[in-house]
Structure 1
């Protein structure tokens, strides 16, 4: 499933169903979702609490498995991979940014950024890394350790690390959740710059309409189902759409 730009999907799910538990206690977190995330685009996933947005991201990224349906990175179906090949795919083709920065405290900024390549046993492109450092504005912090940085700077390191190995897609789960508004805006801005200046792909889960407005498109979930898509979002338009959900997460 692609948008009008006709770009191929960097990631997608088809008829995705995820059920937690069994019997009377079973929870259907995803209920037949089919959605694509176009390459070279910034897509935000939104929905009320319990709508399935984090579950969708985790299944699309291979961090969790679907009960039924399919998840793809490019043309590779994740469900067809054994654990070793899935681990390699996540390492080589996917980047992650989480609410917690997850930096290694004993490593410098430069070493944290290079960690994915070090784990893979590759050097990566020096030109790419240099460009990335400039995009995230960390040139003067490369020899600092995380404890010497602000929260916003630490998250910028995490973003740089996610893009360092030139992955097909970067998944960001509430990346500004631990940041003040100014630092959050900086991190969202650099995610947008990575997409537009470096032709990267970002899929971000967020509950914040202001954060979602940085994306090229927002997809909305409710009760585990895809209920809407919005191109060229603004904070006001996203907020208005979110107000159309009742307290149970269903569209009104």
Structure 2
């Protein structure tokens, strides 16, 4: 079963000589119950792919689906409802509401939708993210890693079909980033969710079940059972960038 997919996806920006083809005929599916990472050099179209697959942006041509629902057939209100009810989001900048405490931030999407939280599910999430003793704290009283764990719990609170995570460890130190990646992995393998993550970091991608590679707006490779070293080697083949540019001190260090 496929949680999300795009078919012959084309996305262009600008006109005339300034026209940029960010996606160039991409067809790719993201399996349900799996953790998929999207990688590629800067400008490869990876964030554009995620935004279009998640209904945050519209395709110039082609189709995007959540389950069997084609996003292009939905009006604005229907699309808003679909994103609210079937999709979770985790962003690099956390996007927590500073005036709300942890418990209120976690249930915020459900509260906005007028939905009653499944208390057992939410309590289980709070236990999984390890923030039971921080529920009455506000974001400013938390570390960056704790804030991102709140954001992951918020994304999962409504039991979405798929969670899209855009560079979720980009603002975190390596230890906090590792905690968030393990949490996303647990959401997939222990809680049955689906996660699609955009990242530039081979270490982060190594936590996924599969990595999808883009280059110049096209799908160029898929890697099952990735490791940080295998991903780094594949990325270096794209542009010859040094190890440190992808978050690793050296190829030897990545392998250790």
Q: Same fold (TM over 0.5)?
A: yes
Aligned pair 1:178/2:171, yes or no? yes
Q: In structure 2, what is the Cα distance between the partners aligned to 1:238 and 1:223?
A: 18
Q: Distance in 2 between matches of 1:247 and 1:78?
A: 37
Find the counterpart in structure 2 of residue 245 from structure 1: 238
What's the secondary structure of 1:237's corresponding residue? helix
Name the structure 2 match of 1:56.
49
The ranges of structure 1 where at least 4 consecutive aligned residues each deviate by more than 4 angstroms after the TM superposition are none
Deviation at 1:247, TM superposition (A): 6.5
Which of 185, 200, 207 pairs up with 1:214? 207
Cα-Cα RMSD: 1.0
Q: Distance in 1 between matches of 2:97 and 2:14?
A: 34
Normalising to structure 1: TM-score of the pair? 0.94
Distance 2:228 2:240 in 1: 20
Determine the structure 2 residue equivalent to 1:26.
Answer: 19
Q: 1:6-25 residue pairs with structure 2 within 5 A? A: 8-25=1-18
Aligned to 1:152: 145
Q: 2-side partners of 1:139 and 1:109: how far apart?
A: 9
Deviation string, structure 1 residues 37-62 (Cα, Å, up to 9, x no partner): 00000000000000000000000000
Residue of structure 2 equivalent to 1:4: none
What corresponds to 2:246 in structure 1? none
**Cα distance in 1 for residues equivalent to 2:220 and 2:128:** 34
Give me the TM-score of the superposition, normalised by structure 2: 0.93
Separation in structure 2 between the aligned mates of residue 12 and residue 21 of structure 1, nearest angstrom: 25
The reply on whether 1:233 has 2:226 as its aligned counterpart is: yes
Alignment pair present for 1:106 and 2:68? no
Indicate the residue corresponding to 1:43 in structure 2: 36
Question: CA-to-partner distance for each residue in 1:131-178, whole Å, 9 max, x for gaps?
Answer: 111111111111111111000000000000000000000000000010
Q: Residue 243 of structure 1 aligns to a residue in which SS? A: helix
Encode CA deviations 1:100-139: one digit per residue, 9 max, x unaligned: 0110111110000010110110112111101111111111
2:159 to 166, 176, 183: 166
Question: How much has 1:246 moved relative to structure 2?
Answer: 2.6
Secondary structure (helix, strand or coil) at the match of 1:100 reads: coil
Question: Unaligned stretches of 5+ in structure 2?
Answer: 242-256
Counterpart of 1:132 (choices 101, 125, 131) is: 125
Match of 1:3 in 2: none
Match in the other structure for 2:247: none
Residue ranges of structure 1 left out of the alignment (5+ in a row): 1-7
Give the aligned length.
241
